[in-house]
Amino acid sequence: MTLTAFILTLLSVFMHALWNFLSKANRPSCASFLLLNLVSAAVALPFAPFIKISWDALPGAFWGCLIGSIIFEALYSIGLFKAYKQLDISVAYPVMRALPVVFTPIVTMIFHLGHAPGWLALTGMLAIAIGCLILQGFQFTKHTSCFPVKALAPILMASIGTTGYTVFDSIATRHFINASQASAPIALVGYFMLIELGLSAILALFVLLQQKERQEFATVCLRHSSPYICGALNCGAYTLVLWAMRFVDNVSYVQAFRQMALPLCAGMGVVLLKEKLNFAKILGILVILSGLIVTVI
């Protein structure tokens, strides 16, 4: 992992942890996530005239990856807000981030996407995933009261969604940058805008079909500022991730180091939301940090 990728991912981590914390603290719902993504697209919109994209130069593979990314983004978003409704952020977030750390290198190696990570990096990624599970106190012999079985479905949805959009974005952004005459950061903001517009369309359909979500959308728009703040943070965080993907041989490295957000979210949950701090969380944080160090090395 290059120093540039390390710095870009680290910056995105702080933004990502903050918007997840704010989302959990302010009654997460599909309506709030719709507003969040609409704001993200609006933040990116002013950059549109500067993208200078040659749409005819984009191959069919790009459009396939774009559609795939949007579908997996929707799966992630729906799983995320459903999980946050049932679990503490210090419980839900680590597990949702643990599985993609394992899934992503498996997918990239199966489909030969980039150079395969070495055994040391894979060991570090596995340590990160284990640390994520330890962080929320998961017991392999039985389900604890803090992790109900019914929460497994949204957790799995969010994890598969994260893996899917990460892999598709790593491919699509290369095509998009090559077809654009703008600098890579500007082009990536344009690509991010396409993702957010497509995702917003899917979430809007989900909201329109449910009366409770329609009412929630009106409430969120009028009374809460957090989706607007989260939308701006989301735009900055994921644009930095997309940029960092250009500086690694395999997107699994970026996926792994993004888990630095886990200790941050866990800490904010304990300090600001008064969630419980126990030995499992402390041990999990230490294991994650050890895995991050090994992966980067």
What is d(CA 104, CA 107) in angstroms, rounded to the nearest whole number?
Answer: 5
Write the pLDDT tens digit of every residue in 5-51.
888 988 998 898 788 778 767 767 888 889 999 999 999 999 999 99
State the maximum Cα–Cα separation within the chain, in Å, rounded to a whole number: 56
Residue 278 binned pLDDT confidence (cut-offs 50, 70, 90):
confident
- If you search the block for the tokens 């929630």, which residue do you land on? 216
Report the mean per-residue pLDDT for the chain: 84
Judged by average pLDDT, the poorest of 20-34, 35-49, 207-221, 244-258 is 20-34
In this predicted structure, what is the pLDDT of residue 116? 77
Residue 53: predicted pLDDT: 92
Short-list 55, 3, 10, 76, CA closest to 237: 10
Percent of the chain with pLDDT over 90: 40
The pLDDT tens digits for 80-126 are: 888 877 777 666 777 787 788 888 888 998 888 877 788 888 888 88
**Domain assignments of the chain as residue spans, ordered by start:** 3-296
Token reading at 144: 């604890």
Amino acid at 41: A
What secondary structure does DSSP assign to 205-234, as a single string?
Answer: HHHHT-HHHHHHHHHHHHH--HHHHHHHHH
pLDDT of residue 154 exceeding 60: yes
Question: Which pLDDT score is estimated for 90?
Answer: 62
Pull the structure tokens for residue 274.
Answer: 């008064």
Half-sphere exposure of 131 (CA within 13 A, CB side): 27
Closest CA to 35 of 232, 161, 191, 217: 217
Distance CA(43)–CA(31), nearest Å, equals 18
Which residue type, as a one-letter code, is found at position 88?
D
Q: How far is CA 245 from the centre of its chain?
A: 14
Q: What is the pTM of this model?
A: 0.84
DSSP letter, residue 262:
H
